Homo-oligomer: A and B are copies of this chain.
Amino acid sequence: MGVLETIPVLLSSSSSSSFLDTSTVIALTVFFALLCACIIIGHLLEENRWANESITALLLGLCCGVVVLLISKFHSSRILVFSEDLFFLYLLPPIIFNAGFQVKKKRFFKNFTTILLFGVVGTVISFCLISLGAYLLFKRIGVTSLDIQDYLAVGAILSATDSVCTLQVLNQDETPLLYSSVFGEGVVNDATSIVLFNAVQSLDVSNIDLLTALKLLGTFLYLFFTSTALGIAAGLISAYIIKTLYFGRHSTDREVALMMLMAYLSYVLAELLNLSGILTIFFCGIVMSHYTWHNVTESSRVTTKHAFATISFIAETFIFLYVGMDALDIDKWKSSKQGTSIAVSSTLFALVLVGRAAFVFPIANITNCIKKRPSTKIELRKQFIIWWAGIMRGAVTIALSYNQFANSDKTLTEDSALMITSTIIVFLFSTVVLGSITKPLIEAVLLRNAKPAHSDATDIPSLDDLQILFLENGDPSDQGGSNEPARRKGSLSLLISNPTSTVHYFWRKFDDKFMRPVFGGQGFVPFVPSSPTGAADPQTS
């Protein structure tokens, strides 16, 4: 009895002696409880037409923010302060890596030209239009203290799209061309807008002339290619190490650990070298799924495939929860006028809509003119879906906005607070309102004029055509080339009209002959017990 009575006393006194900071533990407990709730609610709402995981997390975060606001008596709605380190170092890398790891490589590279046009050229157009529009319109609303660099930054910030909502609705097998365009654009757009933002921040705004624009272009291209090269190198090194040292012999956990660590290492290395970590880890993921993944044991393959997807899923949910909770931060709202805030965010949203329309429809129609086969053309309803998919703004926008307007000055100026709240309004409106009508809308647009499923499946002639086309270089056991010369003549025009597929064909030959024997890959790893499902690409098994 005496022992039991002493417990409350001891407990109250021991609460101060814990190793851990109580507020950190509280924040972690709340966050992990909310994450669990998000997963369960998301699962229950899976068949719901209006909801999706992002919106659930966002709304749950908002609700929690309100509760904290009420508990703290309107002093603060935040449990954790939004940290760019957390976002750019720990949450974004697994998402982008998983995107690269699970991407359907064949489709991605088939649409590579389209993806680059939308993701790079389109983002740059959007960036220019939004910057220019903001520059011309903001002064009329009453925002005066921003300089040229701020306007350029606004352009870069609001060019970063978030196509998660649309991707959750689109079916990868029914509309592969559309899916890979939207998906690919999303990843390239993230990288482009972050690189643009970095370039803008490093810009000397005192004398803007043609040289500055050239510098911007030069930095951009330099970052793009070196980052990609670094990612490919990291992926190849991991493949080579795991293949040569034969890790599965001792432990499959070491293989998985090495893949995770090498991927992350490529990201931080890129950041250290001031390159774009996002591009690096994306290409590292692609190379790892093409080579490294085939060099590991069967159980490591299952583990990596699902573990990477799980970590990415948790990170994504965490971001939406986090941003939802942070949106109500009372300090930001106090220091910005409500009326102006709504005017600015409406202007920004209109600019986003126009900026996106200004490149989606022209680029789509230009590519349609170049392509000859009707099945590879992007119809108007698909152009609409591509346009729609890129309207939503996401966590990258929020993070860049904080970086530009919350960090540059020690104290939050009125206009900086205004820009942050306006960005949050655009983000919330586009994600919650437009996100919830995405599913019914896309279903309506696609079903209204449904065509057979294979209609957009082939961007190139079938692989058989190409095998015949290049039969002299192909596997001799494939076919006896009796009627080869006759066919070949007709195929030559095919070759010229399909440069992408030609590149793909030569890449496959190069891959089989030089790359796979060194770095491993499908069919080149004799010691791994192969199974029909396990030997396939991660996304197909």
User: Is A350 an interface residue when CB atoms closer than 8 A count as contact?
Assistant: no
**Selected contact of A43 from candidates B84, B85, B250, CB within 8 Å:** B250
User: Is A427 an interface residue when CB atoms closer than 8 A count as contact?
Assistant: no
A245 touches B214 (CB 8 A): no
A320 and B251 alpha carbons, distance in the complex (Å): 19
A202 and B33 alpha carbons, distance in the complex (Å): 29
User: Is A7 an interface residue when CB atoms closer than 8 A count as contact?
Assistant: yes
B198 touches A274 (CB 8 A): no
Chain A 1-60 interface residues, beta-carbon cutoff 8 Å to B: 2-4, 6-7, 10-11, 13-22, 24-26, 28-29, 32-33, 35-36, 39-40, 42-44, 46
Give the shortest distance, in Å, between A487 (CB) and chain B (any CB): 44
B10 touches A215 (CB 8 A): yes
User: Is A199 an interface residue when CB atoms closer than 8 A count as contact?
Assistant: yes
A85 and B22 alpha carbons, distance in the complex (Å): 11
Give the shortest distance, in Å, between A240 (CB) and chain B (any CB): 12
A10 touches B217 (CB 8 A): no
Chain A residues with a Cβ closer than 8 Å to the other chain, count: 83
A313 touches B85 (CB 8 A): no
Chain A 211-253 interface residues, beta-carbon cutoff 8 Å to B: 211, 214-215, 217-219, 221-222, 241, 245, 247, 250-253
A451 and B3 alpha carbons, distance in the complex (Å): 48
B214 touches A84 (CB 8 A): no
A497 and B4 alpha carbons, distance in the complex (Å): 34
User: Is A258 an interface residue when CB atoms closer than 8 A count as contact?
Assistant: yes
Q: Collect the chain B residues with CB atoms within 8 Å of residue A29's CB.
A: 265, 268-269, 272
User: Is A69 an interface residue when CB atoms closer than 8 A count as contact?
Assistant: no
User: Is A88 an interface residue when CB atoms closer than 8 A count as contact?
Assistant: yes
B261 touches A39 (CB 8 A): yes
- Contacts A219-B7, A269-B29 given; indicate if A261 touches B36 (C-beta within 8 A): yes
**Selected contact of A219 from candidates B14, B261, B310, CB within 8 Å:** B14
Chain A 121-136, CB-CB to B under 8 Å as 1, else 0, gives 0000000000000000
B214 touches A18 (CB 8 A): no
User: Is A72 an interface residue when CB atoms closer than 8 A count as contact?
Assistant: no
* Chain copies in complex: 2
Give the shortest distance, in Å, between A231 (CB) and chain B (any CB): 15
A403 touches B19 (CB 8 A): yes
Q: Which residue of B lies closest to A301 (CB)?
A: B302
Q: Collect the chain B residues with CB atoms within 8 Å of residue A3's CB.
A: 214-215, 217-218, 221
Q: Collect the chain B residues with CB atoms within 8 Å of residue A46's CB.
A: 250
A221 and B84 alpha carbons, distance in the complex (Å): 43
B302 touches A17 (CB 8 A): no
Q: Collect the chain B residues with CB atoms within 8 Å of residue A202's CB.
A: 10, 13-14, 16-17
Q: Collect the chain B residues with CB atoms within 8 Å of residue A274's CB.
A: 11, 14-15, 18
A310 touches B256 (CB 8 A): yes
Q: Collect the chain B residues with CB atoms within 8 Å of residue A307's CB.
A: 256, 303, 306-307, 310
A17 and B4 alpha carbons, distance in the complex (Å): 58
A28 touches B199 (CB 8 A): no
A438 and B14 alpha carbons, distance in the complex (Å): 38
Q: Which residue of B lies closest to A200 (CB)?
A: B17
Chain A 303-316, CB-CB to B under 8 Å as 1, else 0, gives 10111011001100
Give the shortest distance, in Å, between A37 (CB) and chain B (any CB): 10
- Contacts A254-B43, A254-B313, A309-B253 given; indicate if A14 touches B199 (C-beta within 8 A): yes
Give the shortest distance, in Å, between A20 (CB) and chain B (any CB): 6
B250 touches A10 (CB 8 A): no
Q: Collect the chain B residues with CB atoms within 8 Å of residue A247's CB.
A: 43
Chain A 288-327, CB-CB to B under 8 Å as 1, else 0, gives 0000000000011011011101100110000000000000
Q: Collect the chain B residues with CB atoms within 8 Å of residue A403's CB.
A: 19
Q: Which residue of B lies closest to A33 (CB)?
A: B265
26 A-B pairs in the complex with CB atoms less than 8 angstroms apart: A2-B211, A6-B215, A6-B218, A10-B199, A10-B202, A10-B215, A10-B218, A13-B204, A14-B202, A17-B198, A19-B85, A21-B85, A22-B272, A25-B271, A28-B268, A32-B261, A36-B258, A36-B261, A39-B261, A40-B258, A254-B313, A256-B310, A302-B302, A302-B303, A303-B305, A303-B307
Task: Identify the 3 closest CB pairs spanning chains A and B, nearest first.
Answer: A3-B218, A14-B202, A17-B201
